[in-house]
Copies of this chain bind each other. A is one copy, B any other.
Amino acid sequence: MAEPLSDIAIARAARKKPIAEIAARLDIPDDALIPYGRDKAKLDADFLKGLGDRPDGKLILVTAINPTPAGEGKTTTTVGLGDGLNRIGKRAAICLREPSLGPCFGQKGGAAGGGYAQVVPMEDINLHFTGDFHAITTAHNLLAAMVDNHLHWGNTLGLDPRRIVWRRVMDMNDRALRDMVQSLGGPANGLPRESGFDITVASEIMAIVCLAADLDDLQVRLGRIVVGYRPDKSRVTARDLKADGAMATLLKNAMLPNLVQTIENNPAFVHGGPFANIAHGCNSVVATRAALKLADYVVTEAGFGADLGAEKFFDIKCRQAGLKPAVTVIVATVRALKMNGGVAKSDLGTENVEAVRRGSANLKRHVGNCISFGVPAIVAINHFGTDTDAEIEAVREAAAEAGVEAVLCKHWAQGSAGTAELAEKVAALADSGRARFKPIYPDAMSLLGKIETVVKDIYHGAAVTAEPAVLKALESFEADGYGHVPVCMAKTQYSFSTDPALLGAPSDHIVHVREVRLAAGAGFVVAICGDILTMPGLPRQPAAERIFLDAEGRVEGLF
């Protein structure tokens, strides 16, 4: 058997069409496109405004079981399903997150789908793309520079230098920047203090760009960002520093959705990419809304497993943006279910139906959770060459026990031919009108009540514990008028519990909230449960070592 082609080889062989042709598929006129190269474009702000009155298409969420090192292929399945819907004659668009440069040079190499289910131009999408992340980085760091500049020039706002909460960001895996003492070297360099960098996808500005309705909303949200506190604990905001206008200016183009294509020439919006732990993990509201106005079916994804990604998609993104999802697709692989069933990564090539059955507890839990939001669900089994018929049958049985259907998908190897069945069934579910979406808790519930609801109803934990300082902080957020916002849970993506080693479907665990942070601009309260890394490091052998330009100037080593 021939060696399968690498992702970049498949992507490069794709017969891309001019982006105007892709846009025309959605009746987007040429003059609504702001080109970035020949195969990428942003949609013009005036065009977006004019879409307001059209009816919405049907919104399909792709989520997954808890991630394992075996890989689930959520983005790949999102792309494959979008291509499948187009293949069966539907007017469908895809909405994805933009990849971060950090993991690209760290472990992953690239993140724009895989095999025959990719978005292209994959090199550009994986590298600087249309500059959105760089704009977010710059806006974030401008605010940080203005905070330190304010301290330097006399601190008329009375900030407590020990209580600055606004760090800096870089779109890079760089552990050396996690903790630092800055402003050293004498009075000309400002007031020495402890701080550090997060990766750009962890920036509150990333979340703001992805949740803001338009430029006006963006500027208001940016102004609300809390940069630190006075000795009396009162908040100092970006607006107080007069930073909101310049930040909005830097983000003007970053707010416009990016249009690209799949390797089957179907339209894909790739826009925004917040972390799914410290933030809500979904592509931008602006892109999703535009896609819903332009297509009859919109397939989008949420970060990590459904416990984090889908919950936040429903409770944060859909709540804030007033979106009504029609179907949830839960991606599972035989390999990942085996790992959830206790099999080591090195043994995944051997048939083990029993392990699949055990691991399917994880799948069933996610199915039940997703259905509890009032949205019908279906399972997509993302096929690997080593899967056996008996193992696949075990997944089907588990899905049936959870009350939903499971469909085998072969998009990685076959493109849309491998997802036609899934597409038919998803379209039928979407058209059935069965969805009765509602968030899992009301706005009016207390912040602690919201945390408890997620822990009990989604994580199936027994209780929430919290430091006294956490309870006090939650009360102060409520007293200051932020009681109505949703909570954004930051916990490990590997388990329903806060212990990454606890796979499958653990119950009755205790979830301890270590810290809470008000993301006043994004409009949520982050509840940090366990250790959350907001600045990854590079591995011993970074992917960057293998990336280079070939003699024709083409990118090699992204995969």
Residues of chain A at the chain B interface (Cβ within 8 Å): 34-38, 45, 101, 105, 123, 127-128, 131, 134-135, 137-138, 141-142, 144-146, 148-149, 152-153, 168, 170-185, 188-190, 194, 215, 219, 241-246, 248-250, 252-253, 537-538, 540, 542, 544-549, 553, 555, 557
Contact = CB atoms under 8 A, between A and B. Distances in A.
A105 to B, nearest CB: 6
A534 to B, nearest CB: 12
Contacts of A537: 149, 152, 188, 190
A177 B135 CA distance: 19
Contacts of A555: 249, 252
Contact of A35 (B35, B128, B243): B35
Most chain-B CB neighbours within 10 Å: which of A149, A181, A219? A149
B175 A248 contact: no
B172 A190 contact: no
A134 B36 CA distance: 16
A540 B175 contact: no
Contact of A544 (B168, B215, B246): B246
Contacts of A175: 148-149, 152, 183, 188-190
Contacts of A248: 548-549
A146 B173 CA distance: 9
A198 to B, nearest CB: 13
A110 B414 CA distance: 52
Given A172-B145, A173-B145, A245 B189 contact: no
A553 B189 contact: no
B141 A170 contact: yes
How many copies of this chain? 2
Majority SS of interface residues in chain A? mixed
A162 to B, nearest CB: 15
26 contacts: A35-B38, A36-B36, A127-B250, A128-B250, A131-B134, A144-B176, A148-B175, A149-B175, A149-B537, A152-B175, A176-B189, A176-B190, A177-B182, A178-B184, A179-B189, A181-B181, A241-B545, A242-B544, A243-B545, A244-B548, A245-B544, A245-B547, A245-B548, A248-B549, A249-B549, A249-B557
A502 B417 CA distance: 76
B185 A182 contact: no
Contacts of A37: 34-36
B183 A176 contact: yes
Nearest to A126: B249
A90 B145 CA distance: 46
A141 B153 CA distance: 29
A145 B173 CA distance: 7
Nearest to A134: B134
Most chain-B CB neighbours within 10 Å: which of A36, A127, A548, A549? A549
Contact of A252 (B34, B144, B146, B549): B549
A247 to B, nearest CB: 8
A134 B141 contact: no
Contacts of A184: 178-181, 194
Contacts of A540: 153
A544 B222 CA distance: 14
Given A141-B174, A149-B538, A149-B542, A181 B183 contact: no
A545 B242 contact: yes
A250 B544 CA distance: 10
Given A175-B189, A179-B189, A184-B194, 13 more contacts: A35-B37, A36-B36, A101-B138, A123-B249, A127-B249, A128-B138, A134-B137, A146-B544, A179-B182, A179-B184, A180-B184, A249-B555, A252-B553
Contacts of A146: 538, 542, 544
Given A45-B553, A131-B134, A175-B189, A142 B246 contact: no
Contacts of A544: 142, 146, 242-243, 245-246
A144 B180 CA distance: 15
Nearest to A147: B176
A390 to B, nearest CB: 42
Nearest to A144: B174
Contacts of A153: 540
A140 to B, nearest CB: 10
A243 B244 CA distance: 37
B249 A548 contact: yes
B182 A138 contact: no
Given A128-B134, A215-B549, A549-B252, A176 B171 contact: no
A243 to B, nearest CB: 6
B172 A176 contact: no
A129 to B, nearest CB: 9
B548 A246 contact: yes
Contacts of A549: 215, 219, 245, 248-249, 252
Contacts of A250: 127-128
Contacts of A185: 178-179
Given A178-B189, A182-B177, A215 B131 contact: no
A142 B249 contact: no
B242 A142 contact: no
B145 A538 contact: yes
Nearest to A35: B35
A108 to B, nearest CB: 13
